[in-house]
Homo-oligomer: A and B are copies of this chain.
Amino acid sequence: MKNKEITLFYQWIEESDNIIIGSHLNPDGDNLGSLTALYHYLLKLDKNVTWYGEDSVPDDLQFLPNIKMRTTKCKEDYDLFIALDCADINRLGEGRKIFKRSNKTINIDHHKTNTNFADLNIVKDISSTGELLYQILDQGSLSLDTEIATGLFTAISSDTGSFKYDSTKAGTFFAAGHLMEYNIPINKISVNLYQKRSLAKTSLLIEAMKDVEYLNNHEIAIVMVPLDLIDKCHGKQSDTEGIVEFIRDIEPVEIAILLKERRDEVKVSIRTKSYANAISIVIPFGGGGHVRAAGATISGNLLEVKEKIKEVALKELENARNTGC
């Protein structure tokens, strides 16, 4: 992040009246926390702010101050579009059309694979978009407040698994410490992010785990969620969240694989613990992500996809043993 980028960021905001901020598809804590922070920051600057997002706000993030996915119908043109936490323009969904029509565009993101798709790209390999946005807003003329700090803290906490992943650096902790000084409700944030597993989600986890399959001395673990299991647990698709991390946290497991059945296709989530590369497992299927967390959507039925994934996962395990990552 260069001084020139920061200067332009503030200059373009100053020159713009109508600003639209963009959420990505299937928004997560880093995305919605960062949007919450930027939304409140721009409101404090008396800007007209539109929040673009196509998908609904997950239950565990409904607590964010003034959160609601605002609109998918943005007819007008905007002076400035700011995309947050989007590695490429397609993460905006239909929002990419508004993005392209906007007078100026900014892309703030922490994904290594970012395609630099905007007029101004502030991209840094760091724990979270939340930490990057903190660094940016901390250099502004406005002081932060509880709402902004709550958004940023939620973003950072979400994308570091509460300060556990190795993307967590000294600066991540210093950012969190400074944000705590704005009187943020840490208990409320923690309860919402980490202690709010719904009844349906809980029974789905327990039911799915009954049929866990281990490979290679338990270094690989695979769990499947057929569509009818979700019905049986009175759950919904998003209730599969957290299962793959639960599998990863089993002691001998290095590669955790979750297969979620959809009509004619299967959504695959991969987590790795210490040395295997999650991206390598999904790349053959057109997927993407980070070294420790990646995903793909693969056509075929559950059992077919399972066999394909097993093969690639075993290969990655062998490769990673030799090289590590």
Contacts and interface: CB of A to CB of B under 8 A. Distances in A.
Contacts of A70: none
Contacts of A198: 250-251
Contacts of A250: 197-199, 202
B194 A249 contact: yes
Interface size class of A (residues with CB under 8 A): 35 or more
A171 B157 CA distance: 17
A163 B166 contact: no
A218 B199 contact: yes
A191 interface: yes
Interface stretch (A78-86, A113-121, A172-180): A172-180
Interface in A255-303: 273-274
B187 A274 contact: yes
A5 to B, nearest CB: 24
Interface string A187-205: 1001100111111001000
Contacts of A165: 187, 190
Of A171, A194, A202, which is in contact with the most chain B CB atoms at under 10 Å from its CB?
A202
A180 B180 CA distance: 18
A169 B180 contact: yes
A59 to B, nearest CB: 8
A18 B263 CA distance: 70
A170 B163 CA distance: 14
Interface string A35-76: 000000000000000000000000000000000000000000
Contacts of A248: 195
Contacts of A252: 199
A164 interface: yes
A168 interface: yes
Contact of A162 (B164, B169, B206, B251): B164
A99 to B, nearest CB: 35
Of A163, A174, A210, A252, which is in contact with the most chain B CB atoms at under 10 Å from its CB?
A163
B197 A249 contact: yes
B191 A273 contact: yes
Nearest to A271: B195
- Shortest 7 CB-CB distances between A and B: which pairs? A173-B177, A170-B180, A166-B187, A164-B190, A174-B177, A195-B249, A173-B176
Interface of A: 157, 161-166, 168-174, 176-178, 180-181, 186-187, 190-191, 194-199, 202, 206, 209-210, 218, 248-252, 273-274
15 contacts: A161-B162, A163-B176, A164-B190, A166-B186, A166-B187, A170-B180, A173-B174, A173-B177, A174-B177, A194-B249, A198-B251, A199-B218, A199-B250, A202-B250, A206-B210
